[in-house]
Amino acid sequence: GGAITAADYPEGGEGRITQTETIPIEGPFTPIYEIQGGLDESPLDGELVEVAGYVTGVFPDLGGFYLQDGTGDGLVTTSDGIFVDALNGVAVGDHAEVRGTVAEFFGETRIVDVAGIEVEDTGGVIAPTPVTLPLAEGASLEAYEGMLVTFPDYLFVSDTFNLHRCGEAVLSAGGVLVNPTDIAAPGDAANAVADANAARQIVIDDGSGDQFPDAVPYFAPDGTLRRGDAAKDITANLSFSFGAFKLQPTEDVSFERMNPRPDGPDDVGGNLTVASFNVLNFFSTIDDGDNGARGADSEAEKAAQLDKLVAAITGLDADIIGLQEIENNGPVAIGELIDALNAAEGAGTWSAAADPDYPGGLEATNAIKVGIIFKTAMVTPVGTTEVSEDPSFATDRPAIAHSFVAYGDTFTVINNHFKSKS
């Protein structure tokens, strides 16, 4: 995943050169493990080399293939595989000889400016190297860069933020990752959790550098991939890009539904339901490219966004909802959402708490804000909206609070955008 264009390739070239010379490839051959070396960068960076090995993965959308030494050097500190930045009709199992230049491509060692590729034999088999996370202390995934690897244990989906954009998800061994400050105090304790998280995670990619793929990968038959789902025996070439090691699968990957979506929240009694909902930058202001608006680019896009928001919010069946990431333009954006909800559920069903008084005006704090909406037949607002200037939270997106009366009791709802913690 991630956008890689021709401009990213060394020497300003196309980076996907097929055979351009007629000079036979005769050796001497430089072993791939000597090119990789035992450090993050190749000791032969910039040198013209001839290499030989078996093709373990071909990725047209990445513009090349992975080549691996047939025997290796037997050392766990050096990789036996490398990415060849060319496409020339090779297939998995081919024994290929390549002439090209060693280069570090955004942290991944590659053979680029390929001047020749010759296939000497076919049908070779390279067994994938088993890898288990977390690695032993002092070990690094760098030792497997470019190799065909397999992860026999379950890897759990911890993050799907980039799935629709880059076709990738964060996987973790031993269960899903937890935000360090959810379970540990900020400082040394939380840093230790962060280090442990980093040691047991890896990214699964879709073998492409394209953004917003037409078909989002790894969806289950029900059309989604959920945090907590897991897959085992993932076999892939190990790449490195955009600061992370990534699995480029060479076999189909099927995730098991380990975290089924519940039909609804557990019944805890009570008379009211309070919920939280991030509207993901709902702006009444249309983004014209220059006005800093973060939402829809057209009225049609905004209408589609509103339709989705209304369906999701009404589906919550909640009486009070704390909203995050709504445009900070007074009653305008939140008012458009209220109008859309009332159009769906009846005039006057929903209302919104007014913005709090804030030094300099709340609209001066940030492009987005938090808000509170409620069903008028279920609760009665009391007093005005209050605002927190507690420095424990980001003061440019301050938390707000409002009190309500229902069933003879007065209670207060506090809404904070936790992503905005200082």
Global confidence as pTM: 0.78
Of the spans 84-98, 110-124, 248-262, 331-345, which averages the highest pLDDT? 331-345
- Give the residue, 17 or 248, on which the prediction is more confident: 248
pLDDT at residue 381, rounded to an integer: 98
- Give the residue, 360 or 170, on which the prediction is more confident: 170
Distances (CA, A) of 192 to 74, 113, 185, 189, 422: 33, 43, 10, 5, 19
> If pLDDT is split at 50, 70 and 90, which confidence band does 392 have?
low
Percent share of the chain, pLDDT over 90: 76
Two tokens, residue 133: 């996370």
Q: Is pLDDT of 5 > 80? A: no
> If pLDDT is split at 50, 70 and 90, which confidence band does 49 have?
very high
Q: Is pLDDT of 73 > 50? A: yes
- Average pLDDT estimate for 115-137: 93
Lowest mean per-residue pLDDT among 5-9, 85-89, 122-126, 233-237: 5-9
- Percentage helix, strand, coil, to 5, in the chain? 20, 30, 50
pLDDT at residue 12, rounded to an integer: 31
> If pLDDT is split at 50, 70 and 90, which confidence band does 421 have?
low
- Average pLDDT estimate for 89-114: 95
Two tokens, residue 3: 């956008």
Q: What is the mean pLDDT of the chain?
A: 90
Two tokens, residue 407: 């069933």
> If pLDDT is split at 50, 70 and 90, which confidence band does 60 have?
very high
Lowest mean per-residue pLDDT among 44-53, 175-184, 262-271, 288-297: 262-271
- Give the residue, 244 or 213, on which the prediction is more confident: 244
pLDDT at residue 25, rounded to an integer: 87
The CA distance from 415 to 372, in Å, is 7
Distances (CA, A) of 136 to 209, 240, 243, 359, 370: 31, 20, 21, 53, 44
> If pLDDT is split at 50, 70 and 90, which confidence band does 361 have?
confident
- Average pLDDT estimate for 200-220: 92
Sequence-distant (6+) residues with CB within 8 A of 331 are 352, 354, 355
Lowest mean per-residue pLDDT among 115-119, 259-263, 394-398: 394-398
- Average pLDDT estimate for 45-59: 96
pLDDT at residue 24, rounded to an integer: 79
Going by C-alpha positions, the residue among 395, 393, 355, 390 that lies closest to residue 372 is 355
Sequence-distant (6+) residues with CB within 8 A of 224 are none
Residue type, 265: P
- Average pLDDT estimate for 360-370: 82
Residue type, 419: K
Q: Is pLDDT of 371 > 60? A: yes
pLDDT at residue 26, rounded to an integer: 83
Q: Which phi and psi angles does 113 have, rounded to 5°?
A: 45, 50
Lowest mean per-residue pLDDT among 34-38, 243-247, 354-358: 354-358
